[in-house]
């Protein structure tokens, strides 16, 4: 009898432990999803800053454009999600290229405030264009068919699409890192970040390089938009919500540093997630507190090399 | 000979012009000038869809009023304005545009800022959306009316439904500002009055307004140990929450009572992603009541805009109609007389019979709740069954509202 009861209590202790473990694991995965998506967006922001020295406020709007384009392709055009993932970011990249060639190119030599004003103008123009084309009512796109399931994690289930985002963002991050560290183009980009004038002297076409970088960054924003669309409502707030968090990530990581952005995005993701578990009332403030601490003690950001 | 210098001519001419203009002005403002209403809504930014629905409702009402002879024989016109910086905008509308009435306000925050400044403008403000209890509570004044259902009425209606179900332990998810907190507070109070032994958990979820990622809030709800969830999220936040909750299977585990789940913009955006069999509320549902007034309104609205009217469209439509009817009853647009006509006015609205209670100027009307159901005839979820809750039983008595007119 006593033995039985003993076994029972140890059984329930084991069950409790399992519940705690699965809860923690799910909070961790939530944070990872959040962080990896944030990384995809912040990566584009940080590459532009690293190479061109431009703070692109319109990056969130390019992300929003990617999401809305995927709505047009998937819901209105009846294409499948994978085609949208291939096509929509290319269109966003094209828009980015046009913005760089027609506008940004003309103000590189001007004061930095011109860039801020110009990219802020892009925000207003893109947001109002989205409203003009797609309207202001909220829209949604469906989850891709084969990712509509969830998998068992201990005693819980977890949506496969979240894991998919983690994997894709990881792959894109790896691809970017390989591109920057192993290819000739990557070397040129890193050189541009260090010493732009010397690069020009060495015969590199710097204006064209800038166009390519801006297109690459817009393409990344577009990918993030398409990936986020099945999870997040398409509305005119989409851009405003994401740009602040992405800037926090870029600043904490060190503007221009890709590994820094990754670390910062993952940290913010976990803080966002576990903040809800530990201190729900103060959770909103944590990313800002982290940024304030970074700016106080390491104003150049975690990974920035001077 | 009389000497005419250029200066004298100019001086005389300008005096004459001024006199002429003054004469014109007093002429138009007294007799021929149309009656003007200044309508203030969220017309820009992420919530613009609310303002657009309100504008549609108002334009429909405007056409009907003018067709029926306008106000005391004069035509009616409406000037739209974005409601950001509501106090300045209201002043501009009254002092520059010379509007005779004010109408609108989507955001509760904007409503609470604007209401105390209305007496100095000496114009009536008809609130058609902002649901803060303060608008017809501690901030109330005799110039302000509200023709829409407020937050305590919504919560009480939900509690009335909740009391009929067996759930004892409740938690909530709501936006982290006054509305979400008040909604939970009023729901607890209303449910306690209607059912014994209910428990309200301290483990709640209050994501900030505009949150995109609800995953960890959903995990919190799943761990809360509750039997049912009261949800006051609305608009884009509610859509985000529902889709992510679908991925986590939340609706299979918990009944979720969604205070504003039957809002048309939410149902349209979600389509089949809206789970079936969940209780949802709204501030007007186009299927009820089955009256001629409502059927006509819905069909005229659909004819004009090819979409079903949302609650905000109905509320704004009713707001303008009420102002017109009261001014016609009073036989004048003079503020004091119209206030008298509005207080206690009974009106047959699309949403059903509505009374503007004289003690606090809050509309009392029935509220619709229902369970989400799939239908082959619509590409969004509809309500089946529908439950109509009596306006009197879900409205706090005027002694409870801290309103002194």
Any idea where the domains of chain A sit in the sequence?
31-236
Show residues of chain B in contact with A228, CB under 8 Å. Answer: 212
- A138 and B265: CB-CB below 8 Å? yes
Q: Do the domain assignments include residue B300? A: yes
Which residue has tokens 């890709």?
Answer: A258
Measured distance CA(B204)–CA(B226) in Å, rounded: 10
Residues 153-182 of B with CB under 8 A from A: 176
Within this chain, do residues B202 and B255 fall inside the same structural domain, yes or no?
Answer: yes
Within this chain, do residues B258 and B390 fall inside the same structural domain, yes or no?
Answer: yes
Show residues of chain A in contact with B268, CB under 8 Å. Answer: 137
Nearest CB to A236 within list B48, B204, B248: B48
Within this chain, do residues B264 and B301 fall inside the same structural domain, yes or no?
Answer: no
Nearest CB to A233 within list B204, B216, B239: B239
Q: Do the domain assignments include residue B1? A: no
Nearest CB to B243 within list A31, A231, A272: A231
Within this chain, do residues B337 and B307 fall inside the same structural domain, yes or no?
Answer: yes
Tokens of A107: 């103000």
Show residues of chain B in contact with A34, CB under 8 Å. Answer: 213, 215
- A159 and B48: CB-CB below 8 Å? no
Helix %, strand %, coil % for chain B, to 5?
Answer: 45, 20, 35
- Asked whether the CA dihedral B156, B158, B161, B165 is positive or negative, the reply is negative
The CA distance from B265 to the nearest CA of chain A, in Å, is 7
Q: What is the b/e burial string over B353-391, where b = at least 16 CB atoms within 10 angstroms of the residue's CB?
A: ebbbbebbbbbbbbbbbbbbbeeeeeebbbbeebbebeb
User: A interface mutation test: which of B209, B225, B247, B253 has the most A CBs within 10 A?
Assistant: B247
Q: Does B8 touch chain A (CB under 8 A)?
A: no
Residues in contact with B340: Cβ distance below 8 Å, sequence separation at least 6, in sequence order: B330
User: B interface mutation test: which of A137, A154, A283 has the most B CBs within 10 A?
Assistant: A137
pLDDT of residue B23: 53
Show residues of chain B in contact with A30, CB under 8 Å. Answer: 213, 215-216, 219
Which residues of chain B have a pLDDT value below 70? Answer: 1-31
Residues in contact with A256: Cβ distance below 8 Å, sequence separation at least 6, in sequence order: A46, A47, A49, A50, A51, A193, A304
Within this chain, do residues B258 and B377 fall inside the same structural domain, yes or no?
Answer: yes
Show residues of chain A in contact with B220, CB under 8 Å. Answer: 276-277, 280
Nearest CB to B215 within list A23, A33, A241: A33
Show residues of chain B in contact with A23, CB under 8 Å. Answer: 219, 223
Residues of A with CB under 8 A from a CB of B: 23, 26-27, 30-31, 33-34, 131, 135-140, 142-143, 150, 157-159, 161-162, 228, 230-233, 235-238, 240-242, 272-274, 276-277, 280-281, 284
Q: Does B225 touch chain A (CB under 8 A)?
A: no
pLDDT of residue B17: 63
Which residue has tokens 């183009």?
Answer: A185
A39-73 per-position pLDDT tens digit:
999 999 988 888 888 889 999 999 999 999 999 99
Within this chain, do residues B329 and B226 fall inside the same structural domain, yes or no?
Answer: no
User: Count of A–B CB contacts within 8 Å?
Assistant: 101
Residue B344: Cβ within 10 Å count: 12
Within this chain, do residues B47 and B163 fall inside the same structural domain, yes or no?
Answer: no
pLDDT at A1 over 50: no
* Mean of pLDDT over chain A: 88
- A138 and B239: CB-CB below 8 Å? yes
Of A109-123, A204-218, A222-236, B29-43, minimum mean pLDDT range: B29-43
The CA distance from A160 to the nearest CA of chain B, in Å, is 9
Strands, DSSP E only, in B46-117? 76-82, 101-104
Within this chain, do residues B226 and B372 fall inside the same structural domain, yes or no?
Answer: yes
pLDDT of residue A39: 95
Apex B225 CA angle, B220 and B231, nearest 5: 60
Q: Does B307 touch chain A (CB under 8 A)?
A: no
- B223 and A23: CB-CB below 8 Å? yes
Which residue has tokens 């024989």?
Answer: B73
Tokens of B64: 């009907």
Yes or no: say if A274 and A31 are a contact pair by the CB < 8 Å rule: yes
- With the CA atoms of A103, A106, A112 and A118 taken in that order, what torsion angle do they form, in degrees rounded to the nearest 10? -20
- A231 and B271: CB-CB below 8 Å? no
Q: Which of B130, B154, B158 is nearest to B144 (CA)?
A: B130
The CA distance from B165 to the nearest CA of chain A, in Å, is 27
Per the structure, the count of domains in chain B is 2
Within this chain, do residues B342 and B253 fall inside the same structural domain, yes or no?
Answer: no
- B269 and A137: CB-CB below 8 Å? yes
Burial category of B318 from C-beta neighbours within 10 Å (exposed 0-12, middle 13-18, buried 19 and up): buried
Residue B188: Cβ within 10 Å count: 17
Strands, DSSP E only, in B164-289? 169-173, 199-200, 228-231, 256-258, 279-281
* Full residue range of the structural domain in which residue B342 is found: 34-150+289-365
- A23 and B219: CB-CB below 8 Å? yes
Which CATH number does the domain housing residue B89 bear? 3.40.50.2300
Which residue has tokens 């819905």?
Answer: B298
Within this chain, do residues B157 and B222 fall inside the same structural domain, yes or no?
Answer: yes
Nearest CB to B45 within list A33, A34, A236: A236
- A138 and B249: CB-CB below 8 Å? no
Interface predicted TM-score of the whole assembly (ipTM), two decimals: 0.87
Q: Does B208 touch chain A (CB under 8 A)?
A: yes
Q: Which of A17, A7, A67 is nearest to A37 (CA)?
A: A67
User: A interface mutation test: which of B203, B219, B245, B309 has the most A CBs within 10 A?
Assistant: B219
A149-181 per-position pLDDT tens digit:
888 887 788 999 999 999 999 999 999 989 988
pLDDT of residue B13: 65
Residues in contact with B140: Cβ distance below 8 Å, sequence separation at least 6, in sequence order: B115, B360, B361, B401, B403, B404, B405
Q: Does B219 touch chain A (CB under 8 A)?
A: yes
Separation in Å, CA A252 to CA A109, A299, A306, B233: 27, 8, 15, 31
pLDDT of residue A279: 84
Q: Does B235 touch chain A (CB under 8 A)?
A: yes
Show residues of chain B in contact with A166, CB under 8 Å. Answer: none
pLDDT of residue B26: 47
Within this chain, do residues B244 and B379 fall inside the same structural domain, yes or no?
Answer: yes
pLDDT of residue B2: 53
Measured distance CA(B342)–CA(B323) in Å, rounded: 8
């Amino acid at each position: 009898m006593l033995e039985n009861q003993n076994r029972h209590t140890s059984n329930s202790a084991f069950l409790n432990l399992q519940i705690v473990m699965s809860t923690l694991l799910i909070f961790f995965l939530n944070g990872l999803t959040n962080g990896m998506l944030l990384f995809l967006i912040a990566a584009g922001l940080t590459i532009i800053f690293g190479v061109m020295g431009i703070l692109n406020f319109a990056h969130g709007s390019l992300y929003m454009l990617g999401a809305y384009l995927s709505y047009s392709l998937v819901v209105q055009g009846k294409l499948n999600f994978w085609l949208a993932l291939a096509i929509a970011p290319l269109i966003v990249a094209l828009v980015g290229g046009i913005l760089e060639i027609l506008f940004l190119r003309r103000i590189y030599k001007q004061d930095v405030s011109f860039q801020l004003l110009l990219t802020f103008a892009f925000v207003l123009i893109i947001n109002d264009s989205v409203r003009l084309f797609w309207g202001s009512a909220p829209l949604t796109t469906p989850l891709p068919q084969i990712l509509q399931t969830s998998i068992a994690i201990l005693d819980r289930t977890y949506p496969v699409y979240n894991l998919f985002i983690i994997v894709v963002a990881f792959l894109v991050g790896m691809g970017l890192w390989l591109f920057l560290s192993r290819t000739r183009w990557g070397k040129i980009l890193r050189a541009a970040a260090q010493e732009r004038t010397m690069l020009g002297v060495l015969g590199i076409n710097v204006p064209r390089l800038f166009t390519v970088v801006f297109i690459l960054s817009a393409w990344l924003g577009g990918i993030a938009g398409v990936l986020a669309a099945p999870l997040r409502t398409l509305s005119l707030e989409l851009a405003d919500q994401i740009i602040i968090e992405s800037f926090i990530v870029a600043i904490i990581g060190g503007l221009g540093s890709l590994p820094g952005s990754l670390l910062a995005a993952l940290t913010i993701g976990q803080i966002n997630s576990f903040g809800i578990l530990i201190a729900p009332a103060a959770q909103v403030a944590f990313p800002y507190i982290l940024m304030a601490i970074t700016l106080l003690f390491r104003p150049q950001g975690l990974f920035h090399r001077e | 000979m009389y000497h005419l210098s250029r200066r004298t001519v100019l001086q005389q001419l300008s005096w004459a012009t001024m006199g002429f203009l003054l004469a014109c002005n007093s002429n138009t403002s007294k007799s021929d000038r149309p009656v003007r209403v200044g309508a203030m809504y969220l017309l820009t930014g992420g919530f613009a869809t609310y303002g657009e629905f309100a504008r549609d409702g108002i334009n429909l009402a405007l056409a009907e009023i003018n067709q029926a002879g306008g106000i005391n024989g004069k035509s009616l016109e409406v000037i739209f304005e974005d409601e950001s910086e509501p106090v300045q905008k209201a002043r501009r509308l009254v002092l520059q545009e010379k509007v005779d009435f004010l109408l609108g306000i989507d955001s509760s925050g904007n409503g609470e800022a604007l209401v105390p400044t209305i007496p100095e403008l000496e114009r009536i403000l008809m609130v058609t959306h902002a649901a803060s209890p303060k608008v017809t509570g501690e901030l109330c004044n005799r110039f302000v009316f509200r023709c829409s259902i407020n937050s305590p009425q919504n919560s009480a209606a939900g509690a009335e439904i909740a009391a009929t179900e067996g759930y004892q332990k409740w938690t909530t998810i709501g936006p982290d500002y006054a509305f979400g907190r008040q909604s939970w507070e009023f729901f607890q109070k209303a449910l306690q009055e209607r059912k014994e032994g209910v428990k309200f958990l301290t483990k709640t979820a209050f994501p900030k307004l505009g949150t995109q990622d609800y995953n960890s809030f959903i995990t919190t709800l799943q761990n809360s140990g509750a039997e049912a969830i009261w949800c006051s999220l609305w608009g884009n936040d509610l859509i985000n929450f529902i889709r992510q909750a679908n991925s986590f299977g939340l609706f299979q585990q918990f009944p979720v009572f969604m205070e504003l789940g039957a809002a048309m913009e939410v149902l349209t955006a979600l389509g089949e992603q809206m789970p079936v069999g969940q209780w949802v509320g709204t501030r007007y549902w186009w299927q009820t009541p089955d009256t001629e007034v409502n059927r006509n309104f819905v069909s005229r609205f659909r004819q004009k805009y090819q979409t079903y009217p949302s609650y905000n469209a109905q509320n704004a439509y009713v707001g303008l109609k009420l102002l017109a009817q009261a001014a016609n009853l009073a036989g004048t647009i003079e503020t004091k007389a119209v206030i008298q006509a509005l207080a206690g006015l009974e009106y047959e609205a699309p949403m059903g019979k509505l009374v503007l209670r004289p003690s606090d100027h809050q509309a009392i009307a029935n509220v619709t709740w229902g369970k989400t159901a799939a239908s082959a005839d619509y590409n969004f979820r509809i309500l089946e069954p529908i439950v109509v809750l009596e306006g009197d039983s879900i409205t706090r008595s005027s002694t409870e509202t801290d309103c002194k007119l």
